[in-house]
């Protein structure tokens, strides 16, 4: 075998090896459904909208790493679908949605019961924006994780302004607002980067709760 033939054989082996590595099925890409992709687009658009409200360049919404899960609904009430526990929801409580992020972090995840409403997305994005740009994280720990106003970048921003009127509790009323047989802790949950629930409070049955 002459040198040219040897080189040809070597390059042929290299080409085959590369082809094997890039052949679909050898590396499984992360796949989402059209519904999830659509909700991710809604979430990012809402982040941009809320950024503009607080004076942050809306273009920075593209820097946010967004993960969305949509879980089959366990049931529905006047506020929309909710999901109770299970592997998809990753949480034992019955909730309409949850938001998970770290303080001042551009990484965020959301879970929504199927199908998520626009007002629910505005509410959950509000949690992210408050955690991302808050001046004092302690301000987020009042009203069961649902403060009426938070200092963002030196300005006191009313939550109702930030989320454009989406449902938000006016004062601490807990997360339980239906009878036990209809689902304990129905509402929404904020989660920290380790997955722990932030600001969840049990209240007596029969009291009005926060919901979303």
Q: What is the mean pLDDT of the segment spanning 15-43? A: 62
The total number of residues shown for the chain amounts to: 212
pLDDT at residue 60 above 70?
A: yes
Integer CA distances (angstroms), 75 to 43, 81, 186, in order: 23, 6, 11
Closest C-alpha among 21, 24, 67, 23 to residue 44: 67
Where are the strands (E) in the chain, listed by range?
65-71, 75-77, 80-84, 94-95, 97-101, 107-113, 149-152, 155-158, 188-191, 197-198
Q: What is the pLDDT of residue 205?
A: 34
Q: What is the pLDDT of residue 9?
A: 46
Q: What is the pLDDT of residue 18?
A: 34
Q: What are the φ and ψ backbone dihedral angles of 104, each rounded to 5 degrees?
A: 60, 25
Q: What is the pLDDT of residue 131?
A: 97
Q: What is the pLDDT of residue 172?
A: 37
- Binned at pLDDT 50, 70 and 90, residue 32 comes out as confident
Q: What is the pLDDT of residue 200?
A: 58
Q: What is the pLDDT of residue 190?
A: 87
CB 59 within 8 A of CB 49: no
Closest C-alpha among 51, 96, 34 to residue 71: 96
pTM of the model: 0.76
Higher pLDDT, 59 or 21: 59
Q: What's the longest Cα–Cα distance across the chain?
A: 89
| pLDDT tens, position by position, 174-204 | 433 333 444 444 567 788 888 888 765 544 3
CB 146 within 8 A of CB 162: no
CB 72 within 8 A of CB 83: yes
**DSSP state letter for 116:** P
Provide the percentage of residues in the chain whose pLDDT is more than 90.
48
pLDDT at residue 19 above 80?
A: no
CB 167 within 8 A of CB 117: no
Burial class from Cβ neighbours inside 10 Å (0-12, 13-18, 19+) for residue 177 reads: buried
Q: What is the mean pLDDT of the segment spanning 151-156? A: 98
pLDDT at residue 37 above 50?
A: yes
Per the prediction, the chain carries an average pLDDT of 77
DSSP-assigned beta bridge partners for residue 156: 151
Higher pLDDT, 6 or 102: 102
pLDDT at residue 8 above 50?
A: no
């Amino acid at each position: 075998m002459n040198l040219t033939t040897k080189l040809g054989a070597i390059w042929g082996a290299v080409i085959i090896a590369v082809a094997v590595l890039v052949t679909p099925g050898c590396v499984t890409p992360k796949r989402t459904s059209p519904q999830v992709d659509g909700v991710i687009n809604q979430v990012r658009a809402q982040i941009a909208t809320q950024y503009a409200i607080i004076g942050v360049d809306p273009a920075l919404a593209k820097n946010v790493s967004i993960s969305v899960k949509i879980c089959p609904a366990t049931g529905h009430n006047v506020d929309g679908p909710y999901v109770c526990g299970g592997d998809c929801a990753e949480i034992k409580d019955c909730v309409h949605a949850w938001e998970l992020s770290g303080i001042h972090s551009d990484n965020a995840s959301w879970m929504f019961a199927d199908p998520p409403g626009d007002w629910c997305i505005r509410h959950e994005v509000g949690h992210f924006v408050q955690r991302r740009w808050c001046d004092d994280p302690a301000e987020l720990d009042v009203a069961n994780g649902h403060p009426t106003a938070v200092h963002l970048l030196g300005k006191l921003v009313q939550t109702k302004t930030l989320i454009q009127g989406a449902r938000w509790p006016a004062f601490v009323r807990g997360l339980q607002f239906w009878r036990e047989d209809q689902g304990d802790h129905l509402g929404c949950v904020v989660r920290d980067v380790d997955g722990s629930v932030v600001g969840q409070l049990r209240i007596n049955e029969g009291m009005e709760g926060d919901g979303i």
